Chains A and B, each alone.
Chain A
Amino acid sequence: MTQQQTEGGDVRLTGISKTYGSFTAVHPLDLTVPQGSFFALLGASGCGKTTTLRIIAGLEDTTTGTVSLGGRDITDLPPYKRPVNTVFQSYALFPHLDVSENIAFGLRRRGIRSVGKQVGEMLDLVQLGDFARRKPHQLSGGQQQRVAVARALINHPQVLLLDEPLGALDLKLRRQMQLELKRIQTEVGITFVHVTHDQEEAMTMADTVAVMNGGRVEQLGAPAELYENPRTTFVANFLGTSNLIEGRIVSTGTDVVVAAGGGKLRLPGGRCPSSAESGGKVLVGVRPEKISLTHTDDAAAIPDGRNRVAGRITDSSFIGVSTQYVVESPAGTALQVYEQNIERDGRLVPGAEVVLHWNPEHTFGLDAAQHIHAGAEALEEAA
């Protein structure tokens, strides 16, 4: 039987919060996960993302707020009555049951007797056909992970919740499973809510990413949108790397002009915080791969209209596809620049005087009232 997919199969969290004694794990939060989407909750450990997931699963009570699924309020339903299944972080496979009985567990609990065909299909989907009679402890981490996915998916849940399902796998296997999960999601069309602290994982797999920090959603959007237009320093630093330069606004308009590090930088007015006004402080941001490096001797050849910052290379490392430079300048002590290794200039070595320049279109502005290193610390903790 195919699962009836109604129009409004969205998961809707309204004002949910969770407190443990005096600690607030999740601040009142509104979140809508559209039906059929691959939705990622991204954040460092302790940011409330797993609590949010467990609230959807029903494994955690809410302190306030409601959870609804397809318009039906499920806040007070116990987990075994919710059309939602979870892939646990540690997989939580039943050690006394073999692979096929683990997968059949949900079907049997709902009184379905002939499970053989469905279990077989599921085993094929996760490519574990030959392992049906093995016990979980006889499987590798990646295989256990796939059993956990199959065990949840066989129930055709309206929403599949994944709690850091790839955290225990090594890098190569993780990449492989990311693609596999994405393939399965496209194939079955079920809503996936994926919790992770790995920003690359979130960006590779999800259609929509919600970046969480300290029990709140910092920003929500498509991966490219979050990457190109971070609205907070946390998102700018947690999702990839950003160069943030403190400056003072000189003039506003279609283009905002900012005085920073002895020079002037321009950025599109639309990419500046709405509170920006002449004379106010602002953080000017640019991604490392958007910047070009030119030796000071050739500075005259840089086209007009580009943002320029003069500085000196303090460090460089060759990564293969690119070279990463660290540049010291009056605008900031450790500006990161990623240069594609197409035409390498032999003069760009540590100690060289250079000019950093980039298209003003690639510049974004952030409210200067925030901590400039916000997301970078969280990233170190998560690592």
Chain B
Amino acid sequence: MSATEAPPAPPEKPDVRKPSARRRLVPYWLLLPGILWLLVFFALPMVYQASTSVQTGSLEKGFEVTWHFRTYWDALAEYYPQFVRSLLYAGTATLLCLLLGYPLAYLIAFKAGRWRNLVLVLVVAPFFTSFLIRTLAWKTILADGGAVVDVMNTLHVLDVTAWLGWTESNRVLATPMAVVCGLTYNFLPFMILPLYTSLDRIDGRLHEAARDLYATPATTFRKVTLPLSMPGVVSGTLLTFIPASGDYVNAELLGSTDTKMVGSVIQTQFLRVLDYPTAAALSFILMAVVLLVVTVYIRRSGTEDLV
């Protein structure tokens, strides 16, 4: 063979600075299903409900948009006890979740060692059974004459809780306490998981640095661990408080007519009374109240500049 020609020049690399039109559109194509989903199942129903809330009429004659904003005022005037109760129960349950969940999350993050994954699975384990079944189980646990009530009776704890108005003289079921217990139990994992994530991210060497700088273990917790876990505290309380304030299952199954929460009212208005405008108006009021509470809370907790 004669002298071979120089090998052909390698094909030019595609210019990375100018992606093709197709490439530029890829992110939007990937976003499209999610956007469509939100549009159809979130935005449209919201608009629909908003319109329902200002309609008047009846089931027989049909509903019509009449911009009847009085429905909001009437709903609030009639059902404000349920609103107050909802916020109170949800707030109490959130606080209890925090008090129960923080030590547990701390334990998992710093002390569990090789048991960590097992304990985490145990935290999530209740989700393997239906929400309804778990709540119904509490009916048995707190039943009149059951072990819990007996022990509380014997220790005279029941007298104290009854005096505080949390329970009735000799029963726990169908009292505020039962509803708060149910809420606390059902939302506890939503508190523990963000707390754990937040605590787990704290560099253990910061604890050593604090101890080295004359901080006792208690001070180390107060001045280093707790401030650094605030993002977890905030997201945990939000994940607990927001769904708990709209919950109606716990109030329905474990409570009585005196412990109705606003969620039950909305459910009744929608499905039994069939007063759609009032139900829609109540939903929007609840949303506004929760948004307000959450905004104030986030502002106050000042977690924006925590990295």
Contact = CB atoms under 8 A, between A and B. Distances in A.
A262 B208 CA distance: 59
Contact of B211 (A79, A135, A137, A151): A79
Given A95-B307, A109-B219, A137-B307, A86 B209 contact: yes
A131 interface: no
A88 B306 CA distance: 22
B75 to A, nearest CB: 43
Contacts of B133: none
B227 A86 contact: no
B213 A88 contact: no
B305 A79 contact: no
B213 A105 contact: yes
Interface string B189-213: 0000000000000010110111111
A198 B235 CA distance: 45
Contacts of A80: 211-216
A57 interface: yes
Interface residues of A, number: 26
A78 interface: yes
B211 to A, nearest CB: 4
A59 B206 CA distance: 12
Contacts of B215: 80, 105, 109
A371 interface: no
A193 to B, nearest CB: 14
Contact of A78 (B206, B211, B228): B211
Interface in A195-228: none
Contacts of A137: 307
A7 to B, nearest CB: 25
Nearest to A89: B205
A148 B7 CA distance: 59
Nearest to B216: A80
A25 to B, nearest CB: 17
Contacts of A79: 208, 211-212
B213 to A, nearest CB: 4
B112 interface: no
With most chain B CB atoms within 10 A of its CB, the pick from A88, A96, A105, A152 is A96
B203 to A, nearest CB: 7
A90 interface: yes
Given A59-B208, A86-B209, A109-B219, A92 B203 contact: yes
A110 interface: yes
A155 interface: yes
B162 interface: no
B95 interface: no
Nearest to A81: B214
Contacts of A105: 210, 213, 215, 223
A145 interface: no
A88 B208 contact: yes
B213 A85 contact: yes
Contacts of A106: 213-214
Contact of A96 (B213, B214, B227): B227
A65 B133 CA distance: 59
A85 B216 CA distance: 15
A79 B216 CA distance: 9
Q: Chain A CB within 10 Å — which of B205, B214, B223, B305 has the most?
A: B214
A89 B205 CA distance: 10
Given A80-B214, A96-B228, A88 B209 contact: yes
A137 B219 CA distance: 23
A151 B205 contact: no
Interface residues on B, range: 20 to 34
Interface in A97-153: 105-106, 109-110, 135, 137, 151-152
A239 B55 CA distance: 88
Contacts of A78: 211
Interface string A71-82: 000000011110
Given A88-B205, A92-B203, A92-B209, A109 B227 contact: no
With most chain B CB atoms within 10 A of its CB, the pick from A78, A85, A92 is A92
Given A94-B224, A96-B227, A137-B307, A110 B214 contact: yes
A93 B228 CA distance: 12
Interface in B174-200: none
A59 B212 contact: yes
A86 B306 contact: no
A338 to B, nearest CB: 41
A109 B306 contact: no
B167 to A, nearest CB: 41
A15 B223 CA distance: 36
Contacts of B219: 109
Nearest to B226: A96
Nearest to B214: A109
A57 B211 CA distance: 10
B205 to A, nearest CB: 4
A135 B305 CA distance: 10
Contacts of A93: 209
A85 B305 CA distance: 29
Contacts of B210: 94, 105
A68 B254 CA distance: 63
A224 B10 CA distance: 58
Contacts of A92: 203, 205-206, 208-209
B302 to A, nearest CB: 10
A191 B215 CA distance: 22
A99 B238 CA distance: 31
Interface string B247-276: 000000000000000000000000000000
26 contacts: A57-B212, A58-B211, A58-B212, A59-B208, A59-B212, A79-B208, A79-B211, A80-B213, A80-B216, A81-B214, A85-B212, A85-B213, A86-B208, A86-B209, A88-B205, A90-B205, A92-B209, A94-B206, A94-B210, A95-B307, A96-B228, A109-B213, A109-B219, A109-B223, A152-B212, A155-B214
Given A58-B212, A92-B206, A105-B213, 9 more contacts: A58-B211, A59-B211, A59-B212, A79-B211, A80-B211, A90-B203, A93-B209, A94-B206, A109-B213
Interface of A: 57-59, 78-81, 84-86, 88, 90, 92-96, 105-106, 109-110, 135, 137, 151-152, 155
